[in-house]
Chain A
Amino acid sequence: MNAHNPSGWRPAMPLDAPPGQHAATSSGDRGLMLEEPLIFELGQPGTCGVDLDEPEMAVLPGLARYLRSAEADLPGLSEPEAVRHYTRLSRQNYGIDLGPFPLGSCTMKHNPRLNEKVARLAGFADVHPLQPVETVQGALGVIVQLADWLTALTGMDAVAMTPKAGAHGELCGLLCIRAALEARGDAREVILVPESAHGTNPATAAFAGYRVESIPATIAGRVDLGALEARLGPDVAGVMITNPNTCGLFEPNMKRIADAVHAAGGFVYCDGANFNAIVGKVRPGDLGIDAMHINLHKTFSTPHGGGGPGAGPVVLSAALAPFAPLPYALRQSDGALRLIEEDTAPADHPQGLGRMTAFHGQMGMFTRALSYILSHGADGLRRVAEDAVLNANYVLRSLEDVLTAPFGASGPCMHEALFSDEGLPEGFTTLDLAKGLIDEGFHPMTVYFPLVVHGAMLIEPTETESKSGLDRFIASLRHVAERAKAGDPALKSAPHFAPRRRLDETQAARRPVLVWEGWT
């Protein structure tokens, strides 16, 4: 290797592996299973992989007292070394390009490459957010066209485009609700959240300054309408409801819930995480919803990128539209596109929240999402929802003989199939099934969420899985479930064939090592 190896990185496979076991190698790599050290162990601070002109001038005298005492303690790699480092690391990752990624509530669908190509057009990728408006009419065009699609698909009045991700969109929606209530002099303190809700909902409500109260679910996995109606009152600012809900079920009483909340003077926030199940089939605006964020990285296929960036535009009802944040793009009657910012906001948008982020939102995600939407069109998007729901129901019915489907008897699911750990033999858990799936070459489903089901397994295949691909996944999960039922002890220590086996997460949390500490 090289001299910089203070943390003692070693080839991963010990040379003295017991006789009879898989042969050890001197490198630690095994064929195409490649180990990779940290950049700090590979590189040196003096190395640079970018050719830069030598600076031709001295430092400004006024800057002299602020200069660094030493160069930043950061390793450099030449281009070939860097390409190899990141390519080798990439091979330790699973991605939707490799196979199904059936994480419930995450909507991991195929990421079309046209979207990537379009987003990289210089006219989108190489444009500054503060350029004069006349020089960015195409960028504003993307925002306005996407906004038109989102409002049409949801049946809502307006959309706030700037939120950076779903959780930021939730925050935007709740702040709009607060602003609307404050504007009518109504200080309400409580947001109601069903107990099946994703943790973001209560976190967002608290971040927006609200007190959170939980509403129970019925045995059928829906919001308990009676309990909800009983709790409504003059202190309730609104409810946050996920529909389709986190159990993969549509809330049939949504309109009734909305009417009751409105009658009590509150607002309805819908978590749009599961919009993929209903896009083109149901318009949330028809259900009485006041605000809903749309995760462009879910329904509209922008890549997850190993955990972001997301994008979370929020569609708003007429009652909340006046409070949307700045800036926003607007089509004038003459067809020209304007940007509404602080200079004209007092006249154009006097009740607006102000900014929630520095610039115009996730433009690079807007171009991708618009490209996806135009590719599908109104007919294709409808088919997206239909095939997503069809695929999920196919999984549900193909596995309910080996796994317990807690709501299977109550009818079809929406875009995700939910199972519980009921019926697994003593000593075997949902986690074991998930890790067993890894050995089968699949990314596991969402596990232990929603919390209302014990040992939950939430499977969202999405519409971009073929039937033959689903059949392979179903066969593998069936096999793993049967191994558990047969008491196969090897399943308890799965995965065996992944780049790493189960991790010591306790150690990681008890004594956190968050940065590499070498070279000191």
Chain B
Amino acid sequence: MTIYYTQDHEWIAVDGGVGTVGITDYAQGQLGDITYVELPDVGASVAKGEAPCVVDSVKAASEVYTPVSGLVAEVNMALEEAPELVNEQAESGGWLFRLTLTNDSELAGLMDRAAYDAFVGGL
């Protein structure tokens, strides 16, 4: 499994042809208490750069962009009852959705952990 990061603060953990997407711990810290997650429909086709998911805090609604294109294979239903998982376990149990990747080459444009940490450090 390899984990990639974006400049919009999403992560995607890719294992075989499937990627699990979430927002980074840094992002959840910026957003504050997450109150609701609007999840995509399972089966939906999403293109890199689209925003199939929205994360709400009390005073903001933030779009989550998909790092790569794919078909939505699964969404994290636990977030319906417990959106705070995104705060508590942003890069594990607070994942948002899983994609069946349709264009692996898009991964090449993403950052690894070291690059992302350097990116955040520069903000």
A and B touching (Cβ–Cβ under 8 A): yes
Which residues 415-467 in A have Cβ within 8 Å of B in the complex?
A: 448
A: number of interface residues (CB 8 Å): 5
A509 on the B face (CB < 8 A): yes
> In the assembled complex, which residues on chain A have CB atoms less than 8 Å from the CB atom of B84?
510
Residues of A within 8 A of B56 (CB): 509
Q: Is B35 an interface residue (CB 8 A)?
A: yes
Complex Cα distance, B83 from A510, in Å, reads 7
Distance A506 CA – B36 CA, assembled complex (angstroms): 10
Which A residues touch B33, using CB under 8 A? 506, 510
Q: Which of B44-63 contact A (CB under 8 A)?
A: 56, 58-59
Rounded to whole Å, the gap between the CB of A287 and the closest CB of chain B is 34
A343 within 8 A of B: no
Q: In the complex, what's the smallest C-beta–C-beta distance from A504 to chain B, in angstroms?
A: 10
Determine the chain A residues whose CB is within 8 A of the CB of B35 once the complex forms: 506, 509-510
Q: Which residues of A contact B58 (CB under 8 A)?
A: 505-506, 509
Of residues 480 through 518 on chain A, the ones whose CB sits less than 8 Å from some CB of chain B are 505-506, 509-510
**Least Cβ–Cβ distance between A427 and chain B, in angstroms:** 15
B36 partner residues in chain A, CB cutoff 8 A: 509-510
Secondary structure call for the B interface? loop
CA gap between A509 and B83 in the complex, in Å? 10
A27 smallest CB distance to B (angstroms): 33
B89 to chain A, nearest CB (A): 16
CA distance A505 to B84 in the complex (A): 14
Measured CA separation A505–B59 after assembly (Å): 9
Q: Name the residue of chain A whose CB is nearest to the CB of B87.
A: A506
Which B residues are CB-close (under 8 A) to A506? 33, 35, 58
Highest count of chain A CB atoms <10 Å: which of B33, B36, B56:
B33
Q: How far is the CB of A449 from chain B (nearest CB, A)?
A: 11
Cα(A438)–Cα(B94), bound, Å: 37
CA distance in complex: A280, B6 (Å): 53
Q: Mark B16-38, 1 if CB is under 8 A from A, else 0.
A: 00000000000000000101100
Q: What residue of chain A has the Cβ atom nearest to residue B82's Cβ?
A: A510
- Nearest chain-A residue to B35 (Cβ)? A509
* Bound-complex Cα distance A448 to B35 (A): 20
B31 CB, min distance to chain A CBs, angstroms: 12
Shortest C-beta distance, A507 to chain B (Å), equals 9
Minimum distance in angstroms from B53 CB to a CB of chain A = 17
A505–B58 alpha-carbon span in the complex (Å): 7
Minimum Cβ distance to chain A for residue B55 (Å): 12
A509–B59 Cα distance when bound, in Å, is 10
- Cα–Cα distance between A509 and B56 once the two chains are bound (Å): 9
| Chain B residues closer than 8 Å to A448, beta-carbon distance | 59
CA distance A290 to B58 in the complex (A): 37
Give residues 78-108 of B contacting A (CB, 8 Å): 83-84
In the complex, residue of chain A having the shortest beta-carbon distance to the beta carbon of B59: A448
Most buried by A among B36, B56, B58: B58
A164 to B56, CA, bound (A): 30
Residue of B nearest to A506 (CB): B33
Chain B residues closer than 8 Å to A509, beta-carbon distance:
35-36, 56, 58
> A505 to B36, alpha carbons, bound, how many Å?
13
Of chain A, the residue at the smallest CB distance from B81 is A511
- The closest CB in chain A to the CB of B83 belongs to A510
Please indicate the chain B residues that have their CB under 8 angstroms from the CB of A505 in the complex.
Answer: 58
Return chain B residues, CB-CB under 8 Å to A510: 33, 35-36, 83-84
Minimum CB–CB distance from A333 to chain B (whole Å) comes to 54
How far apart sit A448 and B59, CA to CA, in the bound complex (Å)? 10
Interface hub of B35, B36, B59, B83 (most chain A Cβ within 10 A): B35
In the assembled complex, how far is the CB of residue A50 from the closest CB belonging to chain B, in whole angstroms? 40
Interface residues of B (CB under 8 A from A): 33, 35-36, 56, 58-59, 83-84
Residues of A within 8 A of B (CB): 448, 505-506, 509-510
With A509-B35, A509-B56, A510-B33 given, name 4 new contacts (CB 8 A): A506-B33, A506-B35, A509-B36, A510-B83
A-B contact pairs, 9 of them (CB 8 A): A448-B59, A505-B58, A506-B33, A506-B58, A509-B36, A509-B56, A510-B33, A510-B36, A510-B84
Give the 9 A-B CB pairs with smallest separation, nearest first.
Answer: A509-B35, A506-B33, A505-B58, A510-B35, A509-B58, A506-B58, A510-B83, A506-B35, A509-B36
